[in-house]
């Protein structure tokens, strides 16, 4: 019979084993999925998942390819912390969706990310938006309503 101290030791070994397994699996997955690539601004990182190839190819041929990268439009303009939180959030949910194939086809932007894209449109082109819609600077009329193919045609 194992005493109280022995049970505690076995429990701690079990917890350490499960934690080690989870950490090891997480590190393997991060390495296998080329996770460090997502820490950069390199658009090539977005095509690590083959499912994003169509979006990447259409961005290359877009009017903004010479001036922006994926992160310019898809990360919040508020500051570094907001950008890293958004990268982590999107990274987790993209990994989940693409691994388990539970994403819409064609891929659709989530409402929160659509608001980020709109904020970035206004951030760069705010003077034009103000001229056309002086009371709509908040994005009530989304830029992509008329300019669907600006970033990439597959965005629809």
Output the CA–CA distances (angstroms, integers) from residue 80 to 76, 85, 127, in the order listed: 9, 9, 24
What integer pLDDT is reported at residue 47 of this predicted model? 82
| Whether the model pTM is above 0.95 | no
Query: What does the block give as tokens for 114?
Result: 């659509």
Distance CA 27, CA 78 (A): 30
What integer pLDDT is reported at residue 156 of this predicted model? 45
Would the pLDDT of 60 be above 80? yes
What integer pLDDT is reported at residue 148 of this predicted model? 78
Tally of CB atoms within 10 A around 135? 8
Distance CA 41, CA 78 (A): 16
């Amino acid at each position: 019979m194992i005493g109280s101290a022995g049970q505690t030791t076995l429990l701690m070994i079990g917890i350490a084993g499960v934690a080690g397994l989870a950490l090891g699996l997480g590190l393997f997955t991060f390495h296998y999925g080329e996770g460090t690539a997502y820490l950069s601004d390199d658009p090539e990182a977005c095509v690590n998942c083959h499912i994003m190839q169509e979006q990447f190819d259409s961005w290359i041929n877009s009017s903004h390819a010479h001036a922006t990268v994926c992160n310019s439009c898809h990360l919040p303009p508020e500051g570094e912390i907001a950008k890293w939180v958004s990268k982590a959030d999107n990274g987790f949910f993209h990994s989940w969706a693409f691994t388990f194939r539970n994403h819409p086809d064609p891929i659709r932007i989530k409402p929160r990310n659509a608001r980020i894209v709109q904020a970035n449109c206004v951030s760069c082109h705010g003077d034009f938006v103000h001229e056309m819609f002086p009371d709509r600077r908040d994005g009530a009329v989304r830029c992509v309503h008329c300019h669907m193919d600006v970033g990439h045609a597959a965005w629809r």
